[in-house]
């Protein structure tokens, strides 16, 4: 995953409280697989939290954005 994609996704989730991979890919005009892999990596890194297929920013990521 590129730093640009990570930054784009962090900015997206700063605006949209929660979304599934399909929704993010559609909204950003990106491939679903590319987005899904990035979201999984960001979940592993602690930037996002996933529950029932829906992602949202972690508290850590919110604090780092300020």
The CATH code for residues 3-65 is 1.10.10.10
DSSP of the chain: --HHHHHHHHHHHHHSS-B-HHHHHHHHT--HHHHHHHHHHHHHHTSEEEETTEEEE-HHHHHHH-
CA–CA separation, 38 and 49 (whole Å) = 13
**Average pLDDT of span 5-29:** 96
Q: Rounded to an integer, what is the distance from CA 50 to the centroid of its chain?
A: 9
pTM: 0.90
- Residue-wise pLDDT tens digits, 19-64: 999 999 999 999 999 999 999 999 999 999 999 999 999 999 988 8
């Amino acid at each position: 995953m590129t730093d640009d994609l990570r930054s784009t996704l962090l900015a997206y989730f700063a605006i949209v409280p929660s979304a599934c991979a399909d929704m993010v890919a559609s909204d950003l005009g990106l491939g679903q697989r590319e987005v899904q892999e990035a979201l999984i990596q960001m979940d592993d890194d602690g930037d996002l939290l996933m529950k029932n297929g829906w992602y949202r920013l972690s508290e850590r990521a919110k604090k780092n954005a300020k």
